[in-house]
Amino acid sequence: MQVISKNVSDGIQSASWIRRMFEAGIELKQKYGADQVCDFTLGNPDLPPVPDVARTLQKLAGEVQQPFSLGYMPNAGLPSTRQRLAEHLTCEQQVPLGAAHVVVTCGAAGGLNVLFRTVLEDGDEVLCPSPYFVEYGFYAGNYGGKLVPVSSRLPDFSLDLDAIESAITARTRVVLVDSPNNPTGAVYNRSELTGLAAVLARAGARFGKPIYLVSDEPYRCLVYDGTEVPPILPLHRFSVVVGSFSKSLSLAGERIGYIAVNPAMPQGDELLAGLILCNRILGYVNAPVIGQRLVEAALGVTVDAGIYRKRRDAMASLLRDAGIEFALPKGAFYFFPRVPGRVDDLEFCRLLLEERILAVPGRGFGLPGYFRLTYCMDEAVIRRAAQGFKNAATRAAR
């Protein structure tokens, strides 16, 4: 008896390797104790929210008795939050944005789903560099779209512009980039993104339709060593930025994000009207009101990226000592090292599991032969895993 749709059933069978390993970690922790397991699977930011959040919550606690203080609002978000976001993004994206160009969403994931529902027809293609965040395929598939991964250049995971241009077809509707990147920590430089914009302009002219350049930017604030995250909106008329405050303010559970539409986009008003409609009809209705008020008060403040940088350096030292090859992340809080020795990514993650270390196989991100590690945890956990990585790498080489 079939009780769920085939699409969902298939999705369960190919469910995220991140969650599978996370659940395996729960079992290990129950068996050996949490302090005996090194879990590098889930990108759940462990830093506390910035102090502005606590102060704003205290203030809001005194206001909740007012009528409609937690009531409905315009589907695009609180007008004051949209205005503050527009001012913030004007500086960040280096183009003049007004409140009308911004829609507040239920996280970046909600923003991408709203955008795809607005622009995709059945059979349309969403191109993205590979490896990629695994949920992208589900987000596109929710609305009849098809994710088309395009291999990045190795070993640094930079954009392969020739490969992207070759992959574009008459059904390509969106090219989606994620910088700083999950799972690799790569940050695309200005030259790469300018070249990508030129590719999309040529392809749009060839096929007689716009191809959206969409930048997924939840990790924008987490960059290291003076790395620049170039703004997307000045590069391509049909550009859209999707972001969130899960990492910058450590508000992952509050589910607050946004969509910002290039003010120079032809028929941009029509796109924005579609986004607002879809924000409602997908059942989001509006983003959480408390989260919007928190973001409004804390914009311009971020968690201390220096803490993550120290953890990155500790993880890099651990991997070098184990003889494991990697590209040093420029941002986010992930490593995507190459599997050592003669085993595949599934076998190596199994070897790590025997050392009570949890990692995610690279095939979960579209690139077998690699594995993903997060470093959003105390440095002591990273240091504790050092011998286990050496043991697993030694066994993989036999």
∠ CA 108-112-113, nearest 5°, is 115
Average pLDDT score over residue span 314-329? 98
Query: CA-based angle 86:89:93, to the nearest 5?
Result: 135
CB-based contacts of 115, cutoff 8 Å, min separation 6: 174, 214, 240, 242, 259, 275
Task: Count Cβ atoms within 10 A of the Cβ of residue 87 and give its class: 0-12 exposed, 13-18 middle, 19 or more buried.
Answer: middle
Q: What is the pLDDT of residues 337-368, one digit of tens each?
A: 999 999 999 999 999 999 999 999 999 999 99
Determine the average pLDDT of the residues in 169-181: 98
Residue 268's pLDDT band, with cuts at 50, 70 and 90, is very high
pLDDT digits (tens, 9 = 90+) for 142-161: 999 999 999 999 999 999 99
Domain ranges of the chain: 6-49+304-396, 73-298
What are phi and psi for residue 178, nearest 5 degrees?
A: -135, 105
DSSP string, 270-327: HHHHHHHHHHHHTT--S--HHHHHHHHHHTT----HHHHHHHHHHHHHHHHHTT---P
What does the alpha-carbon distance between residue 127 and residue 136 come to, in Å, rounded to a whole number?
A: 10
CA dihedral 80, 86, 87, 92 (to 10 degrees): 150
C-beta neighbour count of 346 within 10 angstroms: 16
CB 223 within 8 A of CB 187: yes
Q: What is the DSSP letter of 263?
A: T
Check for a shared fold between 6-49+304-396 and 73-298. no
Q: pLDDT for 186-208, tens place per residue?
A: 999 999 999 999 999 999 999 99
Residue 13 pLDDT > 80, yes or no? no
The residue behind tokens 């069978």 is 13
The strand order across the sheet containing 334-335 reads: 334-335, 371-374, 360-361
State which fold the 73-298 domain adopts.
Aspartate Aminotransferase; domain 2 (3.40.640)
In angstroms, the first-to-last Cα distance of the chain is 47
Span 6-49+304-396 CATH architecture: Alpha-Beta Complex (3.90)
- Is pLDDT at 6 greater than 80 in this prediction? no
Look at residues 72, 176, 76 and name the one whose alpha carbon lies nearest to residue 129.
Answer: 176
pTM: 0.94
What pLDDT does 14 receive?
58
